[in-house]
Structure 1
Amino acid sequence: MISWNRVSSAARRSVRGRALSTAAAAALLAGGMTLLGPAGSAQAAASDCEGGKNGFIDISDNAYDTAARQVTLWSEGINISVQYGNIRGVQRGWALIAGDVQPGNQVWLDWTRDGGRTWIQCGPFTSRGGENKTSAAQRTSSDANWKFRACGSTRSGIHCTDPWW
């Protein structure tokens, strides 16, 4: 089961165990990109979100519907988006990385049930052959505290959409 407890600030600074150099982090932040997101981010492995675990369902990597939020990396020809649509009779949200995706590019879905005080990271899901890639999908809710954001890792760094819902 995924813990919703706050994690240490040191853990929030870690992106799947890869530390960014101070110079690279400063350059990314100067460019207006947020690396860490809101306080309380938690990580989960892709396996914590697959096969129906924690309310997530597996979907096709070709799944796309309505883009709620997106980040377009024009120089890379890549789009990272929060998608939503009706899957198996239920409206769900998921993350999608599409376009000129390269092998090793990753996508994940951040999800909160408490308005962003704590987040869970579902993924990352890695593109092996340069194909589009989705995260697992989670049902949406009309509760204002229930939000999603899509994040991806490309050659230029980590990029996240604004929260949606």
Structure 2
Amino acid sequence: MKTRTVTHGGRTVKIALVNQRLSDHSFAAIRSGYRSGDQTWVDRSTDGGKNWTQCGPFNKQFSNDLNNLHYSMRACARFNGASFCTGWYYDND
């Protein structure tokens, strides 16, 4: 699981890319500091993050879950007018 804790505009939010090893799926989650109106999404890449597709955003605490096998993925969130992402994760099994 990749996580990032960000403080912006007087709020601290913990963003996580949650990986489900058995199903090879991942989703973005705001683990702490969520407020109504915050957005989450997953970026997914086939070239290590040089180019990516944004899957979302969703106006909720969790994004949709996506197949992560052979993709680089990162979790992103937008709150207080700014966007933040975790580092990239690659599932190669």
Q: Shared topology, TM-score over 0.5?
A: yes
The one-letter amino acid of 2:63's match is S
* Counterpart check, 1:109 vs 2:45: no
Unaligned runs of 5+ residues in structure 1 are: 1-67, 128-132
The one-letter amino acid of 2:83's match is I
Whole-angstrom distance in 2 between the partners of 1:76 and 1:160: 16
Distance 1:151 1:119, change over 3 A: same
Whole-angstrom distance in 1 between the partners of 2:28 and 2:20: 12
**How many residue pairs end up in the alignment?**
88
Q: Indicate the percent of aligned positions where both proteins have the same amino acid.
A: 26
> Residue 89 of structure 2 aligns to a residue in which SS?
coil
Q: Which has the higher strand share?
A: 2
- RMSD after superposition: 1.8
8 A contact 2:48–2:88 mirrored in 1: no
Out of 22, 27, 30, the position equivalent to 1:94 is: 27
Q: Which has the larger radius of gyration?
A: 1
The residue number in structure 2 matching 1:3 is none
Whole-angstrom distance in 2 between the partners of 1:158 and 1:102: 15
Moved over 6 A (4+): none
Report the Cα offset of residue 140 of structure 1: 2.3
> Residue 96 of structure 1 aligns to a residue in which SS?
strand
The one-letter amino acid of 1:73's match is V
Q: What TM-score comes out, normalization by structure 2 length?
A: 0.80
The residue number in structure 1 matching 2:11 is 76
Unaligned runs of 5+ residues in structure 2 are: none
The one-letter amino acid of 2:59's match is T
State the structure with bigger RCO (CA 8 A, min sep 6), 1 or 2.
2
1:104-123 Cα offsets, whole Å, 9 max, x none, are: 11011000122223200011
The residue number in structure 1 matching 2:55 is 122
